[in-house]
């Protein structure tokens, strides 16, 4: 039987965290800058806001709950990539 810790270590977000290694600051400046330009489009941000707001009132359909979870996962991955890029840029600015 899988324990909660096992599930946490094998979740998609845990696997992505290990794969991306946000603490690794070895990206080139160009790669870091390119990653930092990846952003949600305004229509996606509007959709996320709508889903989050309606979720607070338990007003989402099952399909919308899945959609919100998908946005959450993608947002987490983007946060990891941006973190890695910012760390790398900090090192380049420090002259390392």
> Where are the alpha helices (H) located in the chain, listed in sequence order?
4-10, 12-20, 29-36, 42-56, 62-93
What's the CA gap between 5 and 78, in Å, rounded?
Answer: 24
Give pLDDT, residue 94. 77
The dihedrals phi and psi of 64, each to the nearest 5 degrees, come to -70, -35
What's the CA gap between 47 and 91, in Å, rounded?
Answer: 35
Q: Using an 8 Å Cβ cutoff, are 68 and 60 in contact?
A: yes
Of 30, 34, 29, which is closest to residue 95 (Cα–Cα)?
Answer: 29
What's the CA gap between 75 and 93, in Å, rounded?
Answer: 26
Give pLDDT, residue 5. 56
Give pLDDT, residue 1. 46
Residues of the chain falling short of pLDDT 70: 1-7, 95-96
Instruction: Kindly report the pTM of this predicted structure.
Output: 0.80
């Amino acid at each position: 039987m899988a324990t909660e810790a096992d599930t946490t270590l094998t979740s998609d977000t845990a696997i992505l965290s290990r794969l991306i290694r946000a603490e690794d600051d070895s990206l080139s400046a160009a790669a870091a800058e390119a990653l930092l330009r990846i952003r949600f489009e305004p229509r996606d941000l509007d959709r996320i806001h709508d889903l989050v707001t309606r979720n607070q009132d338990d007003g989402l359909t099952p399909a919308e709950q899945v959609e919100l979870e998908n946005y959450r996962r993608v947002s987490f991955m983007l946060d990891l990539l941006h973190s890695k890029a910012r760390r790398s840029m900090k090192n380049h600015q420090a002259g390392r």
